[in-house]
Structure 1
């Protein structure tokens, strides 16, 4: 009987959900058709992330663990589910913001279905209809549905997970309200006997074994997907999960507890691959994303009352004031009426408790109906209050961070609206009418929206807006059609910033990238030397947190004769956008008149003398087929010519290297036919080591990045003299040389690591895809295979593997380093760290024991030993080592 009623209610709900979804879809598409705005910071960053995943899946290697690791590394801080789901939408509908946001239609269907099912499960069909419709009127949901952000998908997945958890926790024989019922003065029309059964069994009633296992598995899958959507999903689901765990233990419902544990295990299995790959970045980035952002944005401290009422003040605007006020009023009026009546009936006598339920009086009937209703409301409040407190505990506040609460809150508000008696239904319909008007004006262009109806949570369509991101990208591609280019972006406005310029570049076959520069005074000089294109803007420049650095870099570009003004555009705010280009580009590409089979070095220019330990200018001119050039790594070795100047006390280095990719790896893959011949001119800087002295000659070899094939390259007869008194001016060192130079300091330990990772952070800005790390890894891997006893190659290869998070190769390299550098405890510390990163606590402990034996006073070893003890369950060791390290 009840199964038939439930099935019938679900069948009747399909047209409701589809209709509401269709209305929302039409509104969204019309808005996108009218709107001409550009995505702001977060929106553009997420859109770029989706494009990166789409490109990765153009040539998938489904059974390759290394390929999957590279996919997980595409997003090290934001979980990848939304990007993964967006990929087929881009494949089918094409690239662009409008096409990518179509994925929100899928999440909208998930959200509406979940709200309908949850309402039906806890209340009745009437509440389900109204709650589903209300989801279209809440400004907090309608606004984020128009943006490509993680918040709307998170709201949908969290609601789905909570719905499946509720299915598992509630009585399967709970009947559904009669479809024809129009009762609004009572929240349910179930029989009293059934209501009493619900009160006594909810939560965690005994249900059929098969169905309960299916519900638990469904919850586990959805919970895992929610954690793969965004980590704050745990804020919203933590409290109800813990609540049910405690109830199952208190009631000794062991099967229930096991089912819940299995569901959580399924969730962990689903999200583990990504978290295992990126867990360290997630932890280290947490402070910047929360504490640092909160300080920069002026969010209230947790010790202030403002921090705990921040979201309460925002809620009326997120759900619209009329709906919020009317819904809460309806709930409070019903609660007051029911509680007073219940207390009065208890004063009359206790005969209701012993009376047969079928003969129960009107007051007893209402009291038990209220108790059943309260169980459902309490369950929703457990979710809402727990999530509110945990979100408030996050120091970084933003109204959209609380939006996953809104679908569940919509159910409560729908119930509140329906609790008004018929004589007061004007409040219900008035709230709906006012909220509809407010929603409409929050989407209309600002020019058409009256000021008194302009809400704080609005997404006004922009009728005309051209901030010339596409023009900047096109200008750069026209000037350097064969190269992948990174533009240094100084302004940081919502309408023009590094992220939306970068997104425009990804839409042009990933040929142009935008990165913010000028944020740190100490880095201004390198910022100005490391890139060839810069965008500046006069007037207001936006979110510049260090104005001194911005002003210094702006001056260094505008007044530097090394740069020339390439283009100027007028912006909608009546200011100008300037595009600067380096006058002498370090990489030049030109057609070659004759076909060439192998790469040749046609010319090399060097100064007469160069100083040891200081960059020296060098110009190479290479020629070859486009395929060979694009896939080429150059193994360049400067070998010392033997002479009588060598002293036994301080012998000079016999060789040094200038290995790098041809054109620094910046050749656009598909810009020319593979067999066409070209000439590449590189104006770079090489770095002789500090102990170089005398005369050196060059030898060269070619290494193919894809096939690993090598061959020697003929080099002109040229000699380089290294003399301490030489003075030369040189451009910035290429990034591979900088990385290899940094790796030589690794044996020094933690002090060197601080500088290494600070520098790597800069280099990652200049090379957005971090191809320089891949180049260094491939070069050093080849060099180290040729010379397995070379400690310099070993440390460089280990650093490159760590930066690419290639765990097993990094472990193998550090194991070799501990053999080559056996008396240095730092080498064992590195081996221990990479083992701990891969959760190999036992192997890490062995390495730490060796390191501590060499230097027991090294504090870093004590910290690592504490982590190793914790991973092995040795709490005593963990505590003792923690105290020693602090």
Structure 2
């Protein structure tokens, strides 16, 4: 490379830096003016980013459990790449919305540099390269996405980098440079898959095209490099996909179904195929789009449609390469039911190159002036989209900063809860009909900002579940002057609001006026199920100082019981009570974490001294137990080291009878509820299980009850390996936590103790398939079929097994 070229590249990098700095100035000015509350999706993404920030507070890359907990944070198609990228910005600058959005500056730099180098390689024309980079600054759609926090902009950045590397790599000569690009390409593909699983569609067709070219031209080294890139990509993303692949598929299918509910046009209609093309002019800006197309028409007329339109083979192949990539991406995206302009955002760096090429087709002073005027006008259009400028309204006002955030008292409401519950994690039942500023996602986000001390959860939309939901929440928020849509959902919301506001068991903790003169009301239980009190004494040994329970307990009922436990904060927070009511013949367990696992005052909060925890719970006595007298025994299990300590407790004896009724009782703890579901699991009744588990995960937003089951179950099964109820309960816990190796081992043990149950073999086969072990699954399915050949799921699992074994469909 000559000194002149090197000098030009240095000048170009300075220009690119200026472009990036302009983007920085515009974006930060927007965030400086904006004080809005993040809406639904933004709040959900920001909350997930904060949970990633939280897990990186205890970074341990050499721990398998740390990696497992990291990958478990994103079980759906919303992959972790963008959230992980955000963590350093949260650590350096703070945990707010503005600070999280700083990650977009990184993505902007990636896009600008990628487009510049891609254009340089394809067109060998620095004017086109600089123009394309400027377009990435000026496109209104990219400007809007830069001033937001969604996954799509990060996906666009990594797709742009990877596509650039792919383009240069496919034509690179064999050598150190080519092998280096091979590694970078593999990393890029892996990160695309970790940014959003559907992101791969934007480089799928060009990748296949390149691969076919290698095969046709017998470029064996390139084929080896292709295999290496794919191996690297799989190494990067395999653990997340291996853990979450099933939930990724189901959540993606549900998202696609959501498009139908929103009225998006399908691929079977002309509107479905015109949806994205008709949005392109406005998305790139009418000045850029109109002038680029106009210059193309003038160029065609000038050369009278001669065949020598494109000077040089490089330009021709470059244009075909870009068009094939763009058109293939458009076709695949249009096939989907759920449509939104941001879903094709990774296409816009390619569009910027194509338009930059057209924009510079004709070289003369008049067109140079036209181009300069177009860029100035496009800058005005961009600013008019982002700021309240008194300009052409048809081109503006798409994403204006909003200063009404301070008028919504979400932060004050969350503070009211944390001040009331200094030592407890709180779960807030959100009743209001969702509006962008007031919904379960925004409350959940503000709760995460408050050191993860409050979680916002949506209450049921089914009339049949109202009473159950009201048992498991102690905090509620309602909104005055709501209107409800006809149907069950609207009626459920109306009834929930009425029951909460009229309940004698709740008290009004505060109310706040909204900008539209509506009022938010916060309600709390008068007698919470768990109360934590700081004591003045220094005695810190774990002790059950009191158990309050009726002398007469009723079989097959929820019987009220109150436990009062004292000890140090760390012991209480990390403690599990293994409680057994027993006589010489039989027993029932009431195992649970102290405070139901909700003792929490912040990430780094470890208060000193002694605390008292009072639990007002219910214990359920199985109807299979014989009546008679039962005595309580108690063990303390330390979750930090699994150490068991026997507890001295008052002499508590109760009489169990099958006569009488229980007037009123607290809700059962979720460990007991899950234990009851284990009976359905043993009988293959799965439908009810997953409905109930969804509710449980609302009631315990951290899903700590699954950890409680894991510790308690492992302890009991060491003593009673043939205890089927604990084994099936542990299966549910391990399944929901996606602990595949442990789950397989537990199911293998179950096949020994419940060998004649076909569902046990079926579950084991399913987990083997989940773990991509079809040969092992096939053996277990054969046993299940022998025991009960008419199980409906058998045929489906056998089909999946054969697909995984690459067997032809004729064998089914």
Q: Hey, what does 2:470 align to over in structure 1? A: 528
Alpha-carbon distance change, 522 to 240 in structure 1, aligned in 2, over 3 angstroms: farther
Contact 1:318 1:457 in 2 (8 A): no
Q: Give the Cα–Cα distance (whole angstroms) in 1 for the partners of residues 155 and 204 of structure 2.
A: 15
Which of 705, 716, 721 is the matching residue for 1:788? 721
Q: How does 1:51-450 map to 2 (within 5 A)?
A: 51-77=50-76, 78-123=78-123, 124-170=125-171, 207-291=173-257, 293-335=258-300, 337-338=302-303, 340-342=305-307, 369=311, 371-420=313-362, 421-445=364-388, 448-449=389-390
Q: Give the Cα–Cα distance (whole angstroms) in 1 for the partners of residues 606 and 727 of structure 2.
A: 37
Q: Give the Cα–Cα distance (whole angstroms) in 2 for the partners of residues 540 and 114 of structure 1.
A: 49
- 1:95 CA drift (Å): 1.4
Q: Give the Cα–Cα distance (whole angstroms) in 1 for the partners of residues 565 and 457 of structure 2.
A: 29
Alpha-carbon distance change, 40 to 464 in structure 1, aligned in 2, over 3 angstroms: closer
Deviations 1:676-719 (A, max 9, x none): 11111111111111223333221111111112111222232333
- 1:367 CA drift (Å): 5.3
Q: Hey, what does 1:710 align to over in structure 2? A: 644
Contact 1:641 1:697 in 2 (8 A): no
Q: Give the Cα–Cα distance (whole angstroms) in 1 for the partners of residues 361 and 206 of structure 2.
A: 26
Alpha-carbon distance change, 842 to 9 in structure 1, aligned in 2, over 3 angstroms: farther
Does residue 23 of structure 1 match 2:22?
A: yes
Deviations 1:535-590 (A, max 9, x none): 11123579999322222221221122222221100111221111111121111111
Q: Hey, what does 2:595 align to over in structure 1? A: 663
Q: Give the Cα–Cα distance (whole angstroms) in 1 for the partners of residues 651 and 395 of structure 2.
A: 75
Q: Give the Cα–Cα distance (whole angstroms) in 1 for the partners of residues 686 and 407 of structure 2.
A: 44
Q: Give the Cα–Cα distance (whole angstroms) in 2 for the partners of residues 132 and 90 of structure 1.
A: 28
Contact 2:618 2:669 in 1 (8 A): yes
Contact 2:101 2:148 in 1 (8 A): yes
Q: Hey, what does 1:468 align to over in structure 2? A: 409
Alpha-carbon distance change, 631 to 19 in structure 1, aligned in 2, over 3 angstroms: same
Q: Give the Cα–Cα distance (whole angstroms) in 1 for the partners of residues 483 and 256 of structure 2.
A: 24
Deviations 1:801-822 (A, max 9, x none): 1111111111111000000001
Which of 378, 396, 401 is the matching residue for 1:455? 396
Q: Hey, what does 2:676 align to over in structure 1? A: 741
Aligned length: 804
Alpha-carbon distance change, 521 to 381 in structure 1, aligned in 2, over 3 angstroms: farther
Contact 2:31 2:401 in 1 (8 A): no
- 1:850 CA drift (Å): 2.0
Q: Give the unaligned 5+ runs of structure 2.
A: none
Alpha-carbon distance change, 727 to 469 in structure 1, aligned in 2, over 3 angstroms: same
Contact 1:828 1:847 in 2 (8 A): yes
Does residue 575 of structure 1 match 2:522?
A: no
- 1:424 CA drift (Å): 4.0
Contact 1:866 1:880 in 2 (8 A): no
Deviations 1:810-853 (A, max 9, x none): 11110000000011111111111111111122222222222222
Q: Give the Cα–Cα distance (whole angstroms) in 2 for the partners of residues 378 and 638 of structure 1.
A: 76
Q: Secondary structure at the match of 1:701?
A: strand
Contact 1:438 1:453 in 2 (8 A): no
Does residue 494 of structure 1 match 2:493?
A: no
Of 142-151 and 256-265, the range deviating more from structure 2: 256-265
Deviations 1:51-104 (A, max 9, x none): 111111111222122221111001111211111121122111121111111111
Q: Secondary structure at the match of 1:410?
A: helix
Q: Hey, what does 1:189 align to over in structure 2? A: none
- 1:230 CA drift (Å): 1.0
Q: Give the Cα–Cα distance (whole angstroms) in 2 for the partners of residues 402 and 855 of structure 1.
A: 48
Contact 1:317 1:455 in 2 (8 A): no
Larger Rg: 1
Q: Secondary structure at the match of 2:539?
A: coil
Q: Hey, what does 1:362 align to over in structure 2? A: none
Of 532-541 and 126-135, the range deviating more from structure 2: 532-541
Of 633-642 and 756-765, the range deviating more from structure 2: 633-642
Q: Hey, what does 2:789 align to over in structure 1? A: 856
- 1:406 CA drift (Å): 1.1
TM-score (norm 1): 0.87
Of 487-496 and 69-78, the range deviating more from structure 2: 487-496
Contact 2:460 2:469 in 1 (8 A): yes
Deviations 1:393-445 (A, max 9, x none): 11111121111111111112122222245334454334323322121122224
Q: Secondary structure at the match of 2:22?
A: helix
Contact 2:484 2:490 in 1 (8 A): no
Q: How does 1:417-816 map to 2 (within 5 A)?
A: 417-420=359-362, 421-445=364-388, 448-449=389-390, 452-453=393-394, 455=396, 457-462=398-403, 465-491=406-432, 492-540=434-482, 546-640=489-583, 654-668=586-600, 670=602, 673-692=606-625, 693-728=627-662, 729-749=664-684, 752-816=685-749
Of 301-310 and 417-426, the range deviating more from structure 2: 417-426
- 1:742 CA drift (Å): 0.9
